[in-house]
Structure 1
Amino acid sequence: MIDFRYHIVSLISVFLALAVGIALGAGPLKETIGDTLTGQVEQLRAEKEDLRAQLDEAENDEAAAEAVVSAAGQRMLAGALPDRRVALVLLDEVPEEQVTAIGERLGEAGASVSATVTLTDAWTDPGLRTYRQALAGTLVSYLETPPPADAGTEAELADALVQGLVGADGAAPDTVSENAATLLELLSSGDNPLLSVAGDVTAPADAVVVVAAPPAQDPEPSPSADTGATTQDAELAVVDASQRLSAGAVLADGRRTPESLTSAVLGDADRAERLTTVSRTDDVTGQVVVPLALAARIAGENGHYGFGDDLEPLPPAVQLPPVDRTPTTPDAPAADGDAGAAGDAGAEGEG
């Protein structure tokens, strides 16, 4: 049994050790310990300053590289998309500076942005599934070319969106058709609008750029319009419809990750053969590539552009013919060539 004397001895030992430590620290070892700590602090400070200098140098190098790419891009883009009208479809919220930069690059290529629309949360909210199904049933009656009966709600909504953006009045090709205007109105109105539209859409698009939103913190798929579907399925349906119903489409994605839309496209052999993707469009390099990739897709050249496995740095150079917007009547078939009417997919050649 441990008695009181054992505790006394233990306490004395502790205080003796403490006293010896204080005596040595304040005496013979004082300078040694102080010098050691001072040296370690100075070393850490020097390492921090060196890392800061390296970071500043890397940032300066990146800024210089971006300036070169930006300047070279103006020359590369000149005339790539002559007189084409391009609709931007934003999959959820995309940084304004990224949207502006892509629009400016399209302008440098000779194109104009005919519309900018953003999918709202209602596009994929599981709680609004019944509402979307009912709305899709109404929208189908305004589609020039309805999807197959078993296509599903996601495909019907995607077709309605794209036809609303590219549908042209045959007698006045620079004006959106009545059905197209109705489709956009139905999609962007009501208590649960599926779209937000920036400004008025007065001219039909020839082509579409679908811009992916930055990745969410939680990459887990969420249920979407149909049983077993995910948000990614709904977004891919929009990319599918954009390519099928316009003269050409490009998916402007961020950095490629296992969860990115680019990875989903490349993981599907059928989609990989017919859908064009551009990665890292959140920086200047990808933004310059978007108009070049769109021009190539309109010309029938499909590809996946960026840096990494299965990606090419640049699309092939192409020369697009002038746009043909000849008015048509029921008795006069549409002229061959690039047209902005809905359903005129691959008017300039689709691969």
Structure 2
Amino acid sequence: MIDFRYHLVSLISVFLALAVGIVLGAGPLRESIGNTLTGQVDQLREEKDALRTELDTSKAATTAAEDYIAAAGPSLVDGTLADRNVAVVAMGTVDDESRQAIEDQLTAAGATVTADVTLTDSWSDTDLRSFRQALVANLTSYLDPQPQSGTGADTALAEALIQALTGADAADPTKVSGDATTLIKLLTTGDDPLVQLAADLSAPADDVLLLTDDIAARTTASNADKDQVQATQDSMAALVRVTAARAAGAVVAGGPVADDALISAIVADSELASAISTVNAAGTIAGQVSVPLALNADAGGSVGHYGSGDGLTVIPTTTTLAPVDRNPSADANAADPNAGDAAADGAQG
């Protein structure tokens, strides 16, 4: 058992050590300690100033590079999508400023944006699977070509959307076909519309741009339901495949590969990577300028993955695309020689 004397000795030792420390700190060691601390503070201040200067220099260089790309952008993209129609599909919530900047580059390239589409949560909501299955039954008769047997609702809905955006009237290819009009109406109406349109379709699209900006953040959240995450990824993969098959030029644009779940999945999948082009960092001026260039390259038969990072190409190599043929088909005119005149009369009326 420890007695009182032990506690007393311990307390004396503690106070003695404290007293010695105070005496040394206030006496012989005071100047040494003070100089050491002052030197360390001065060194840290110098390092902070050096880092601040380095950061300011880096920001200035980045700003200069962005300004250069912004100034060079119009000449880089000019004519690369001349007289082509492009449908823009946001696969979830996309920043309005980034979307508009991308569409401005498409316009500068000579393209017409014929559709601004946004997929709603209903497109892949697991609670609406039965609803989508029932909708597919109504959509199927308007699809040409039909999806292969057993491909599932995701592929059928993707076919419906892309065929709605690209379907041209045989009698007047400058107009959307009747089936395409019906398909987009079925997709945009009801209590749970699958897509939203900023305005009516103005013309059939030649090329389709898929934007993923926020879909990755939504599907990879740590608290996301695993079944919902899988359902979203499956539906997006189906849309990518159908877009690659149906559109002349097909590009997926979004965030950096490291942060964008869909783009990283496409780049890592040899089948998808060979079917559709991607542009990452589409929120930057470099990515935005690359979008019309990538559409041009893809429409010309060159699939690529563009941006900064391992295995990516910095900038697409463009080609001269053949003019889009918007003349009525011979079959349509043979079936009804007055079809073109009737369509023109209807447009004037």
Do these two structures clear the TM 0.5 threshold for a shared fold by scoring above it?
yes
Q: Does 1:255 align with 2:270?
A: no
Contact 1:84–1:111, Cα closer than 8 Å, also in 2? yes
Higher helix share: 2
Aligned pair count reads 331
Find the aligned partners of 1:259 and 1:112 in 2 and give their Cα distance.
27
Contact 2:66–2:286, Cα closer than 8 Å, also in 1? yes
Find the aligned partners of 1:189 and 1:18 in 2 and give their Cα distance.
81
Does the C-alpha gap of structure 1 residues 333 and 27 become closer, same or farther in structure 2, counting only changes over 3 Å? farther
Find the aligned partners of 2:313 and 2:146 in 1 and give their Cα distance.
35
Does the C-alpha gap of structure 1 residues 18 and 333 become closer, same or farther in structure 2, counting only changes over 3 Å? farther
1:341 aligned partner: none
Find the aligned partners of 1:116 and 1:271 in 2 and give their Cα distance.
24
Equivalent residue letter for 2:14: V
Contact 2:257–2:264, Cα closer than 8 Å, also in 1? yes
Residue 329 of structure 1: how far off its partner (Å)? 7.2
Contact 1:250–1:293, Cα closer than 8 Å, also in 2? yes
Equivalent residue letter for 1:218: A
Deviation per CA, 1:311-333, whole angstroms, max 9, x where unpaired?
Answer: 22233331112222113475437
Contact 2:213–2:253, Cα closer than 8 Å, also in 1? no
Equivalent residue letter for 1:205: A
- Secondary structure of the 2:174 match is strand
Residue 82 of structure 1: how far off its partner (Å)? 0.6
Does the C-alpha gap of structure 1 residues 333 and 292 become closer, same or farther in structure 2, counting only changes over 3 Å? farther
2:154 aligned partner: 154
Residue 102 of structure 1: how far off its partner (Å)? 1.0
- Secondary structure of the 1:296 match is helix
Residue 72 of structure 1: how far off its partner (Å)? 2.2
Residue 64 of structure 1: how far off its partner (Å)? 0.8
Superposed counterparts of 1:331-350, under 5 Å: 331-332=332-333
Residue 221 of structure 1: how far off its partner (Å)? 8.4
Contact 2:89–2:211, Cα closer than 8 Å, also in 1? yes
Find the aligned partners of 1:259 and 1:83 in 2 and give their Cα distance.
31
Contact 1:168–1:204, Cα closer than 8 Å, also in 2? yes
Residue 69 of structure 1: how far off its partner (Å)? 1.9
Contact 1:90–1:212, Cα closer than 8 Å, also in 2? yes
Find the aligned partners of 1:124 and 1:250 in 2 and give their Cα distance.
21
Q: Does 1:218 align with 2:221?
A: yes
Contact 1:276–1:302, Cα closer than 8 Å, also in 2? yes
- Secondary structure of the 1:234 match is helix
Aligned sequence identity (%): 48
1:271 aligned partner: 272
Find the aligned partners of 1:261 and 1:130 in 2 and give their Cα distance.
25
In terms of mean alpha carbon deviation, does 260-269 or 206-215 score higher? 260-269
Find the aligned partners of 2:64 and 2:225 in 1 and give their Cα distance.
38
Residue 203 of structure 1: how far off its partner (Å)? 1.9
Contact 1:129–1:224, Cα closer than 8 Å, also in 2? no
Residue 245 of structure 1: how far off its partner (Å)? 1.7
In terms of mean alpha carbon deviation, does 161-170 or 30-39 score higher? 30-39
Contact 1:222–1:231, Cα closer than 8 Å, also in 2? no
1:101 aligned partner: 101
Q: Provide structure 1 residue ranges, at least 5 long, that are not aligned to the other structure.
A: 335-351
Superposed counterparts of 1:1-351, under 5 Å: 1-214=1-214, 215-216=216-217, 218=221, 222-223=226-227, 229-257=230-258, 260-328=261-329, 331-332=332-333
Residue 155 of structure 1: how far off its partner (Å)? 0.3
Find the aligned partners of 1:223 and 1:290 in 2 and give their Cα distance.
32
Contact 1:252–1:290, Cα closer than 8 Å, also in 2? yes
Equivalent residue letter for 1:201: L
Contact 2:243–2:250, Cα closer than 8 Å, also in 1? yes
Residue 154 of structure 1: how far off its partner (Å)? 0.7
In terms of mean alpha carbon deviation, does 7-16 or 19-28 score higher? 19-28
Deviation per CA, 1:60-102, whole angstroms, max 9, x where unpaired?
Answer: 1011111222222221211111111111111111222221121
- Secondary structure of the 2:272 match is helix
Equivalent residue letter for 2:306: Y
TM-score normalized with structure 1 length: 0.86
Residue 223 of structure 1: how far off its partner (Å)? 2.8
Q: Provide structure 2 residue ranges, at least 5 long, that are not aligned to the other structure.
A: 336-349
Equivalent residue letter for 1:104: D
Taking only aligned residues, the RMSD between alpha carbons, in angstroms, comes to: 2.4
Does the C-alpha gap of structure 1 residues 236 and 300 become closer, same or farther in structure 2, counting only changes over 3 Å? same
Find the aligned partners of 2:318 and 2:249 in 1 and give their Cα distance.
16
Find the aligned partners of 2:264 and 2:99 in 1 and give their Cα distance.
22
Residue 202 of structure 1: how far off its partner (Å)? 2.4
- Secondary structure of the 1:88 match is strand
Deviation per CA, 1:117-162, whole angstroms, max 9, x where unpaired?
Answer: 1222222222222222222222222223221121111101111111
Deviation per CA, 1:241-287, whole angstroms, max 9, x where unpaired?
Answer: 11222222111132112863233223333222221222222222222
